[in-house]
Structure 1
Amino acid sequence: MLNDADTLMPNDAFEPVRDRVDVSVGVLVRRADDVYRIAQVLDFESLIGVDVATGRSTALRIGDLRPLTRDRHCEQPSGMDMAEIADEDWRIAQERLAAIKPLLGRMHIGREDVELRGTELGIDPATLYRWLRRYNAYGVATALIPQKRGWKAGNSRIGSETDALIEQVIRDFYLTPQRPTAQKTVLEVLRACQAKGVKAPSASTVRARISQIAEKEQLRGRGYKEQAKNKFFPVPGAFPHADFPLAVMMIDHTPADIILVDDVFRKPIGRPWITLAIDVHSRMVTGYYLSFDPPSETSVAMCVAHSILPKEDWMLLHKVEAEWPVWGVPKTIHVDNGADFRSNNFQQSCLMYGISLEFRPVKQPRYGGHIERMLGTLAREIHALPGTTFSSVKDRDGYDSEKHATMTKSEFEEWLVTLICKVYHRRLHTTIGLTPTRKWEIGIFGNAEIHGVGVPPRPTNSLAILLDFLPYFRRTVQTFGVTIDGLAYYAEALRPWINAQDPETKKKKDLVFRRDPRDISTIWFFDPLLKHYYKIPLADLALPSMSIWEYQQARDKLKQEGIASVDEHQILRAITELRSRVDEAMEKTKTARRQAQRRKEHAKKISPAQPLPASSLPPKPLAPMGMDDLLDGDIQDFGDIA
């Protein structure tokens, strides 16, 4: 559901506040002008709150609640992003997160638990409490960065060549059965950098990179394969550490076994791709992404954002009257070794939210058994639909899939959401002995035998979460604006940053821009001083909305025509020509209809963060002026996580 935090300011600007509503008994929250203390959580939609002013109890919708305050101790470094955090500060943040990780996710943390953890690590309990408070306020690792030492202007990450050399040395030298020490690995990195003539990183940078290697990968790479197998091999029907909801989430892609038709002529256009995520503990589907585009970083970003965010508006979009009470940040995401999961942006985003990213061992399909079985269940249901391709040519023998195809993408997606929420979630799962919905409820609220983990904190800014997982770019701002992939973008929000210099390096300042590849007619610029995102359109407003794939297709066409220097007007002409050809061929060819349908889907600009247009939602009550003034003075919001 779109919150007041999601409603864009004039000039399409918004503040990426990443705080969450803690839905726990005793916590103070606000609804509009009133402050309540949570007395009892009834279910995933409602709770009982006590008005702190009147003492009266009342039923409250969880979706209407907002955090009361932001802890002044949680003040974040203003105006920077993940790319500008010093390596040493990032290492410290990861160490602090590791220190408090055993204490996270508990409904009640006793003084004895904190003191015991402090004794184990040699850390004062008051310090652990402070780190817990800072992390719980936002749920992101950057909350633990040292305030005085870190996030200074001018700090920057190592260059791409150096970064690649570190990765190569770790892969080819450190992760070998010879088991060289970290010190020898540092020396090998220095030697490789000297040989290549690139700037060498500090020893702490290399050690920090080694410390980020997953234990399973370390054991396997350094010759302890049997030990790794014994520790991480999942026994039948179980998965390591998936002991509660959102402990482990699995994601995978698959082409759906069905031919869909376009919206205009209702003729075949091909099979869509499904990116699906499930909670291993309960087998609940946490989120999905359906598209005619092949799997990519965007598919992963949309699926993860859909998993983390509440889904009330998503159900309204698809006109499905059912509950899908799943939201929250998972502890671990388990994926295969695809390039889309191994992108630096996705890995950084997971680190930002404290998500452990684990990769399925190569040629070990049993490690992905849970998601594979779910996709198999989905495939069997799809095989009953008109236009199915079945699972093989043999099964399809005598059946003309294209001839029987009748469903559009929208109709299929409505069917998919209905299947997930009304059938799969409510059907007995033989492995766990319960329905996924009931298993999820018990894991959250508990029963006579199990102590539930409580309702996950509810995100308050959906667009910020989506942008955190989308691809980003670093660019300087010129007099004409900023250029990405040969396209110029400009808006008044960029004017103060034209030819801006870094005060320490005296070089032009790199700034962070994020982009949804499905529509590159606009990008999001993060202003490091105002700590807001601004939507920046193409400088040439005559250019149409287009996806990155459509733009690349137009560039390729111009190259084939022998045009060495490509400008935006030529791009416009090429896209217009390509679209004309598609429109002419739509009724004749499946490829053209599929391309036209892709363009139509991109133009809808539907995402898990904004499934419904703002105009279709009722206005939200505004917070009292006094409360807003107090909150703004208490804390500065941290910036983009790039």
Structure 2
Amino acid sequence: MIDKDYGDYFEETPSVVIKRRRIDVRSGALVRHRDGVFRIAEVLDFNTVTATSMQTGRTSVLLVSDLENVDQDPGSPSDIDINAIVEDDWRVAQTRFAAIEPLLTTKSPTRAAVQARAQELGVGIATLYRWISRYRSLDAVSGLVPLKRGWQYGKGRISKSVQLLIEDVINNYYLTPERPTAEKVVREVLRICEEQNVQAPSATAVRQRIDRIPEVERLRRRGQRERAKNKFLPTPGTTPGGDYPLAIYQIDHTPIDVIVVDDEHRKPVGRPWLTIAIDEYSRMVAGYYISFDAPSVVSVGMCLAHALIPKDMWLLKHGVDAEWPIWGRPKKVRWDNGPDFRSDSVRDVCNLYAIDAEFRPVKVPRYGGHIERLQGTLLRELHDLPGTTFSSVQERQEYDSEGRAIFTKSELEKQLLKIICNEYHRRNHRSLDMPPLRRFELGIFGHGGQLGTGMPPRPTDYLSIYIDFLPIIWRTVQNDGVDIDKRYYADVLRPWIGVIDPETGKGLKHPFRRDPRDISAIWFFDPELKEYFKIPLADPNFPSCSIWELKRAKQELKDAGFDPSDSTAVLRSITERRQLTKDSAAKTKQARKAAQRQADHQRVADEGPAPVQAPKVRASADRDIAPRPTAASRITALLPAASLLTDVVRGSDIA
């Protein structure tokens, strides 16, 4: 047990309990409605179901958006941060997922199939049914984490040095034309660990990392290039594996071929970037993200987060009257080999949501043909708008793109939404011989005697998804808080000041999540309370700004010969530069673009992740915590509040 000196009380710090629960929208599922608990009788379409009240027995037509999940396992620790799951528990969860994965291909596996699988694995039938139920309640592997364990201090995942050792053995020994077996790789890792006198990882941990290698990369690097090409390289018009809705998403970035103007002076500021996801089966657009910032981990995360959530409130926010009924976790995502797609944050969140990330073969552009054709289609539609740059200088000729520009970024986004929902989704697709929306509906609900996949589970808490997809930064907690470019502090950090990691003998590092567009606060996951706390900047006078603004201000101070760590000087530099930018915004395009980026980042800070519904956050001041409490007393004090459901949220403000 960690000895903590809490003082008398914590100051008020808003907290959010992560809820990755999904509403199971299919026949026979129990759901909660404001009129009570219902059992779904029939799914009529993406928006409505018929359901029978468990209290009165009467059947009613209900809106899907009004339904909530019925918590069947309130004690589950599965709604915690992936970094708080110890290695042994994570390994158990993945083993359980492998056990039930063959049974997840159908909505309701037969008892005979479950019994056969149970006999094959040597586990009970009831156990398999329980695992299936827990997995589907979250649609995430974390739902299978052992209930009796959770966080155990000092038993974190294997150290970074051992991880690097395993990666080195995999890259230089396993991924070679000699093709050694996984067992030999395990022995080689154990040999090197013994030689270097470090604690060796388990054989399962090594095999886990081998299993994460995409098959195409495994075949190619182990001397089987032709086999990899024959198995994975698609021919024009085809892509392997995308044979049902949400089977595979493709994601990519592209600059939009339209010059936009700033919000204040209506002067040209340049072309924004578009990150977009497409469902390979139906060609439906699954999600997107628009920003003036170059493609990054944030672009990928926000696009994926947008793809996972329902879009009804998003369309309402932008004033678009349309239907966009795609949400849920894809089985696999395909993207290129850029560093933004290969980041640790993206990899970890894909593992958390059981999304298989697959990288396109290098120098084979047609492997991402669907997403590139979609980008071409959307950009051609935008070529009709004032301010278009067309697709080339030759095509643009004497057209004055900047002189004709009239749309702000938000106005252009509304145009894009109308094109996606009311035109592209409803227009006949040459490769499908039907509109993408119709193809998606047939894949979900079935047709001609063929069963559909059924509606995917519907997320209940958009803020949880937003937090999950934010980049992670690891830091220790010091007496004056946490240093991530700037200093952050709240009393909720106090118990973790100066705590030593027994494995390394150094300060215990914690995962913090931050939205680079708004660094006025970071998210801290308390590994004992299993909650996220929003930690503000220690300096209350420092303005809300993006990491881009902060780094630029520090560099300008350094170039001028001043100390870039001087908080007052940085604050003054940002304030002065904003005023200069505002004064010169009507004069130069570069200044206007900088001002517009500041405005976009400020909008994220002002509105939050998304304007759907304000979350009911709890404050640490409500806990009545006495000095030096035990972990058990902290959790006991929270039990009354923990029984209250936290209302959802605000979706992710991807604008």
Kindly provide the CA deviation profile for residues 500-530 of structure 1, in whole angstroms up to 9, marking residues without a partner as x: 5568988654333211110001111222233
* 2:59 counterpart residue number: 57
Distance 1:184 1:162, change over 3 A: same
Distance 1:201 1:43, change over 3 A: same
Residue 128 of structure 1, CA deviation: 2.2
Q: Which amino acid aligns with 2:158?
A: I
1:38 lines up with 2:37 in the alignment: no
Contact conserved, 1:153 with 1:504, CA < 8 A, in 2? no
Q: Which amino acid aligns with 1:450?
A: Q
Relative to structure 2, which stretch is displaced further, 532-541 or 355-364? 532-541
Kindly provide the CA deviation profile for residues 141-169 of structure 1, in whole angstroms up to 9, marking residues without a partner as x: 12223445664221123333432343233
Q: Partners in 2 of 1:95 and 1:616 — Cα distance?
A: 34
Kindly provide the CA deviation profile for residues 117-162 of structure 1, in whole angstroms up to 9, marking residues without a partner as x: 3345454433322221221121221222344566422112333343
Contact conserved, 1:501 with 1:509, CA < 8 A, in 2? yes
Residue 474 of structure 1, CA deviation: 2.8
Q: CA RMSD in A?
A: 2.9
Q: Partners in 2 of 1:606 and 1:446 — Cα distance?
A: 43
Q: Which amino acid aligns with 2:426?
A: R
* 2:622 counterpart residue number: none
* 2:375 counterpart residue number: 375
Q: Partners in 1 of 2:554 and 2:199 — Cα distance?
A: 35
In the TM superposition, 1:383-398 aligns within 5 A as 383-398=383-398
Q: Which amino acid aligns with 1:558?
A: L
Q: Partners in 2 of 1:616 and 1:153 — Cα distance?
A: 30
* 1:304 counterpart residue number: 304
Residue 190 of structure 1, CA deviation: 5.6
Relative to structure 2, which stretch is displaced further, 310-319 or 606-615? 606-615
Q: Which amino acid aligns with 2:458?
A: R
Q: Partners in 1 of 2:644 and 2:58 — Cα distance?
A: 29
Residue 333 of structure 1, CA deviation: 0.7
Distance 1:267 1:193, change over 3 A: farther
Distance 1:592 1:634, change over 3 A: closer
Residue 464 of structure 1, CA deviation: 0.6
* 2:224 counterpart residue number: 224
Distance 1:395 1:371, change over 3 A: same
1:488 lines up with 2:487 in the alignment: yes
Q: Partners in 1 of 2:466 and 2:206 — Cα distance?
A: 31
Contact conserved, 2:282 with 2:440, CA < 8 A, in 1? yes
Q: Partners in 1 of 2:357 and 2:276 — Cα distance?
A: 16
Kindly provide the CA deviation profile for residues 452-492 of structure 1, in whole angstroms up to 9, marking residues without a partner as x: 1111111011011111111122333333222212x111223
* 1:364 counterpart residue number: 364
Relative to structure 2, which stretch is displaced further, 491-500 or 447-456? 491-500
Aligned residue for 1:351, secondary structure, equals helix
In the TM superposition, 1:503-514 aligns within 5 A as 508-514=507-513
1:66 lines up with 2:65 in the alignment: no
Q: Partners in 1 of 2:347 and 2:530 — Cα distance?
A: 23
Q: Which amino acid aligns with 1:75?
A: S
Q: Partners in 2 of 1:397 and 1:197 — Cα distance?
A: 68
Task: State TM-score, norm by structure 1.
Answer: 0.89
1:345 lines up with 2:345 in the alignment: yes
Aligned residue for 1:394, secondary structure, equals helix
Residue 563 of structure 1, CA deviation: 3.1
1:76 lines up with 2:84 in the alignment: no
Distance 1:474 1:33, change over 3 A: farther
Contact conserved, 1:259 with 1:271, CA < 8 A, in 2? yes
Task: State TM-score, norm by structure 2.
Answer: 0.87
Q: Partners in 1 of 2:440 and 2:283 — Cα distance?
A: 8
Distance 1:609 1:133, change over 3 A: farther
Contact conserved, 1:154 with 1:504, CA < 8 A, in 2? yes
Q: Which amino acid aligns with 2:418?
A: T
Relative to structure 2, which stretch is displaced further, 150-159 or 335-344? 150-159
Q: Which amino acid aligns with 2:610?
A: P
Q: Which amino acid aligns with 1:376?
A: G
Contact conserved, 1:273 with 1:292, CA < 8 A, in 2? yes
Q: Which amino acid aligns with 1:551?
A: L
Q: Partners in 2 of 1:631 and 1:331 — Cα distance?
A: 35
In the TM superposition, 1:211-610 aligns within 5 A as 211-485=211-485, 487-500=486-499, 508-564=507-563, 566-605=565-604, 610=609
Aligned residue for 2:417, secondary structure, equals helix
Q: Partners in 1 of 2:468 and 2:610 — Cα distance?
A: 17
Kindly provide the CA deviation profile for residues 535-557 of structure 1, in whole angstroms up to 9, marking residues without a partner as x: 11111111101101111111111
* 1:623 counterpart residue number: none
Q: Which amino acid aligns with 2:422?
A: K
Q: Partners in 2 of 1:174 and 1:451 — Cα distance?
A: 42
Kindly provide the CA deviation profile for residues 90-137 of structure 1, in whole angstroms up to 9, marking residues without a partner as x: 333223212222222522210122233334545443332222122112
Kindly provide the CA deviation profile for residues 380-433 of structure 1, in whole angstroms up to 9, marking residues without a partner as x: 111111111111111111112111111110110000000000000000001111
Contact conserved, 1:86 with 1:157, CA < 8 A, in 2? yes
Q: Which amino acid aligns with 1:301?
A: G
Q: Which amino acid aligns with 1:488?
A: R
Out of 11, 14, 17, the position equivalent to 1:15 is: 17
Contact conserved, 1:346 with 1:469, CA < 8 A, in 2? yes
Aligned residue for 1:604, secondary structure, equals helix
* 2:92 counterpart residue number: 92
Aligned residue for 2:327, secondary structure, equals coil
Q: Partners in 2 of 1:320 and 1:183 — Cα distance?
A: 56
Contact conserved, 2:39 with 2:53, CA < 8 A, in 1? yes
Residue 363 of structure 1, CA deviation: 0.8
Distance 1:83 1:527, change over 3 A: closer
Distance 1:291 1:318, change over 3 A: same
Residue 230 of structure 1, CA deviation: 2.3
Kindly provide the CA deviation profile for residues 585-623 of structure 1, in whole angstroms up to 9, marking residues without a partner as x: 211111110010011011111899843264799xxxxxx
Q: Partners in 2 of 1:53 and 1:123 — Cα distance?
A: 36
* 2:630 counterpart residue number: none
Distance 1:608 1:359, change over 3 A: farther
Q: Partners in 1 of 2:246 and 2:332 — Cα distance?
A: 8
Distance 1:550 1:194, change over 3 A: farther
Unaligned runs of 5+ in 2: 1-11, 617-637, 646-655
Distance 1:16 1:132, change over 3 A: same
Relative to structure 2, which stretch is displaced further, 463-472 or 164-173? 164-173
Q: Which amino acid aligns with 2:601?
A: H
Q: Partners in 2 of 1:355 and 1:92 — Cα distance?
A: 18
Kindly provide the CA deviation profile for residues 326-355 of structure 1, in whole angstroms up to 9, marking residues without a partner as x: 111111111111111100111110111111
Q: Which amino acid aligns with 1:29?
A: V
Residue 199 of structure 1, CA deviation: 6.4
Q: Which amino acid aligns with 1:32?
A: R
Distance 1:399 1:360, change over 3 A: same
Q: Partners in 2 of 1:506 and 1:535 — Cα distance?
A: 28
Unaligned runs of 5+ in 1: 1-9, 618-627, 636-642
Q: Partners in 2 of 1:343 and 1:616 — Cα distance?
A: 30
Aligned residue for 1:276, secondary structure, equals strand
Contact conserved, 2:89 with 2:149, CA < 8 A, in 1? yes
Kindly provide the CA deviation profile for residues 161-218 of structure 1, in whole angstroms up to 9, marking residues without a partner as x: 4323432332232111111233443454466668889765454432321122222221
Q: Partners in 2 of 1:582 and 1:249 — Cα distance?
A: 40
Q: Partners in 2 of 1:445 and 1:344 — Cα distance?
A: 36
Kindly provide the CA deviation profile for residues 280-316 of structure 1, in whole angstroms up to 9, marking residues without a partner as x: 0000001000110100011011101110001111111
1:110 lines up with 2:110 in the alignment: yes
Q: Identity rate of aligned residues, in percent? A: 51
* 2:28 counterpart residue number: 26
